């Protein structure tokens, strides 16, 4: 993917159009629905039922997949799937494998929304749920059937549609290749300018802030608090998943946000290069891109010989899914100091926690940490970044 402009929040829904929300993690399904919705025959069918067209939007990591490749707007993140339905404007919500509330079927039953499941591992037994199993062999056929079902549901929309006006502009799609291009152009693409600005102190370090929403804390609060504290202290942020969507809704994924929220060094770099201070790198399964970027920083030179020597830290402020633990673990094993918020599975086992939080660093260069307070969470990351700067001898910059 390469940088592309779009918008995020429930305000992307359109009252005069057929609204289809794609929710989950399966990029092939969402790709086919994007293609199917753009077919002239589907656009004509939408107009025949009284709509002005078809509005696709995404929730969760499917949203990140289609925004970074097609600019399809984002309706929201994990905890917003029911909120999207209660606007009364959604003709169909298509779900696949993961991060789907079981209760979403009960919410849909109160409105005209068709809930369409597509994978055998995420079927629902409620009578109002339609199952259209997705297979790669006949992907377009299934996608067209899904879009047609949504269009035919438009006339059944009930009175009292309420779409919030809030939406924010964003730039998504900063793959590690795209960052390489932005820093050096077509002929001089390189991470060297990033390294130089870390060495001279304009950029304090790098923060990878990712992960889910968690119902045990205020929605998006921990995400945004951590990000704002980091960029205020000149730490550039790489983001994926529901954290990226939270950042988009908060207006942090635009170059203009640098002047408002960043410290002077990071703001200067963002203005010069023309990038946001928070770089959208994709869905939660794209966290490997952050590690690839970290590897390129090491290769560019001047900041040590291993990822564990970089002035960098990882974070999942509102993690919920078990896969967050596995992703965090491969970051730690790659040498990244990684902080989780809200709660942590080992807090009742002090011996094991000592192993994860201290002894791991001796083996892998990275270690786990936990901090529920989002401000202290960010400050722990900054303290680690400063420790690594001192070890590299660039703390006086």
Same-domain pairing of 292 and 364:
yes
Task: State the pLDDT at residue 237.
Answer: 98
pTM score, whole prediction: 0.96
Which DSSP state fits 102?
T
Does residue 163 belong to any structural domain of this protein?
Answer: no
Each residue's pLDDT tens digit, 342-365? 999 998 999 999 999 999 999 999
Range of the domain at 104: 4-156
Would you state the pLDDT for residue 181?
A: 86
Q: Are strands 4-8 and 168-172 parallel, antiparallel or unpaired?
A: antiparallel
CA proximity to 356, closest of 320, 323, 380, 331: 331
DSSP state of 16: T
On whether both 333 and 299 belong to a single domain, the answer is yes
Instruction: Kindly report the CATH number assigned to the domain that includes residue 108.
Output: 3.40.50.2030
**Percentage of residues in the chain having pLDDT higher than 70:** 99
| 200 & 91 share domain | no
Using 50, 70 and 90 to split pLDDT, how confident is the model at 189?
confident
> Does residue 209 lie within any of the structural domains?
yes
CA distance 276 to 359: 36
How much of the chain, in percent, has pLDDT values that exceed 90? 91
The residue with greater pLDDT, 177 or 80, is 80
Closest CA to 242 of 75, 11, 115: 75
CA distance 251 to 8: 9
Tens of pLDDT, residue by residue over 59-103, are 999 999 999 999 999 999 999 999 999 999 999 999 999 999 989
| pLDDT above 80 for 155 | yes
How many domains does the chain fold into?
A: 2
Res 397 pLDDT > 80: no
Whether the predicted pLDDT of 186 surpasses 70: no
- According to DSSP, residue 284 is labeled G
On whether residue 372 sits in a domain, the answer given is: yes
């Amino acid at each position: 993917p390469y940088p592309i402009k779009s918008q995020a929040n429930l305000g992307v829904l359109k009252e005069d159009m057929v609204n289809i929300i794609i929710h989950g993690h399966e990029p092939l399904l969402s790709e086919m629905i994007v293609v199917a919705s753009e077919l002239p025959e589907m656009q004509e069918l939408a107009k025949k039922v009284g709509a002005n067209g078809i509005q696709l939007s995404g929730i969760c990591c499917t949203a990140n997949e289609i925004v970074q490749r097609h600019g399809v707007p984002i309706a929201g993140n994990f905890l917003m799937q029911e909120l999207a339905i209660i606007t009364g404007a959604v003709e169909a919500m298509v779900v696949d494998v993961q991060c789907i509330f079981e209760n979403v079927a009960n919410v849909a039953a109160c409105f005209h929304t068709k809930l369409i499941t597509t994978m055998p591992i995420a079927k629902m037994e409620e009578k109002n749920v339609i199952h259209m199993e997705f297979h790669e062999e006949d992907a377009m056929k299934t996608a067209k059937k899904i879009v047609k079902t949504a269009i035919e549901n438009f006339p059944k929309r009930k009175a009292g549609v309420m779409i919030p006006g809030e939406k924010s502009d964003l730039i998504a799609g900063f793959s590690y290749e795209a960052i390489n291009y932005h820093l050096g152009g077509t002929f001089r693409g390189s991470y060297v300018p990033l390294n130089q600005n870390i060495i001279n102190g304009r950029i304090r370090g790098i923060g990878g802030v990712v992960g889910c929403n968690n119902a045990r804390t205020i929605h998006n609060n921990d995400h945004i608090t951590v990000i704002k504290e980091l960029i205020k202290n000149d730490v550039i942020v790489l983001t994926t998943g529901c954290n990226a969507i939270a950042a988009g809704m908060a207006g942090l994924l635009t170059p203009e946000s640098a002047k408002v929220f960043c410290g002077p060094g990071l703001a200067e770099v963002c203005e010069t290069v023309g990038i946001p201070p928070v770089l959208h790198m994709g869905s939660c399964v794209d966290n490997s891109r952050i590690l690839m970027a970290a590897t390129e920083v090491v290769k560019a030179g001047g900041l040590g010989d291993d990822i564990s020597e970089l002035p960098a830290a990882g974070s999942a402020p509102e993690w919920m899914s078990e896969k967050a633990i596995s992703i965090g673990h491969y970051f730690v094993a790659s040498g990244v100091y990684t902080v989780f918020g809200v709660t942590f599975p080992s807090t009742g086992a002090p011996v094991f926690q000592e192993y994860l939080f201290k002894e791991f660093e001796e083996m892998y260069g990275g270690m786990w940490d936990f901090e529920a307070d989002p401000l202290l969470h960010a400050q722990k990351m900054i303290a680690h970044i400063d420790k690594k700067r001192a070890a590299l001898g660039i703390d006086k910059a």
